[in-house]
Amino acid sequence: MFKLDVLKKPSFDQVFSREIKHEGVELTLTVKADEAFLAASEQVRQLQEREATLKATDRLKRGYVSAFEATIFMIGEYIIEKWNVEDCEGKAVPINGENLEVVINNINEPMQFVEKLLNEFNECASEFSKAANEIKKKPSTATSGKSKK
């Protein structure tokens, strides 16, 4: 009997995390194999490629979200696992991209926070990518690569 479970792709369940503390905000970034995150990161990559081809004047009058804005939103939606942000009534603020932008806009030194956020995210993403590439199946050397006729 032929079983398809033999053909399963190798699983990748590693998780890469970083802690950030800035002006009382504490959050945990977590990068893991998640289809929604991978799709969002592909969209951000395409935005980055699009912006790289634009002239500086065209970037100023764009009618779409920049790659930077999309990256911040993606981090809020898919990468922040937990944070200690509360509203004025002491209730926990939901973690999402829009609320991350609100947090950034209410910090005294927003650029320092964004720099920390992006640096730690890039470190996690780099570790994730390196580990994921290591488990990919290498091509078989048992054949010449040519199809049989």
Tell me: the pLDDT tens digits for 97-138?
999 999 999 999 899 999 999 999 999 888 888 887 777 655
Per-residue pLDDT tens for 32-90?
A: 887 888 788 888 888 888 877 776 666 556 666 777 888 999 999 999 999 999 999 99
Q: What pLDDT sits at residue 74?
A: 92
Structure tokens at 4: 């398809």
Higher-confidence residue of 11 and 108: namely 108
For the packed helices 97-105 and 67-74, what is the interaxial angle rounded to 10 degrees? 110
To the nearest 10°, the Cα dihedral for 85, 86, 92, 98? Answer: -60
Most confident of 5-9, 24-28, 65-69, 136-140: 24-28
Q: Cα–Cα–Cα angle for 92, 100, 54, nearest 5°? A: 165
Whether residue 10 has pLDDT greater than 80? no
At 100 the pLDDT is 95
Distance CA 144, CA 149 (A): 13
Q: Which of 139, 124, 138 is nearest to 33 (CA)?
A: 124
Output 1 or 121, whichever has higher pLDDT.
Answer: 121
Cβ count within 10 A of residue 20: 17
Q: What is the pTM of this model?
A: 0.72
Burial of 90 (0-12, 13-18, 19+ CB in 10 A): exposed
Band the pLDDT of 94: cuts 50, 70, 90. Answer: very high
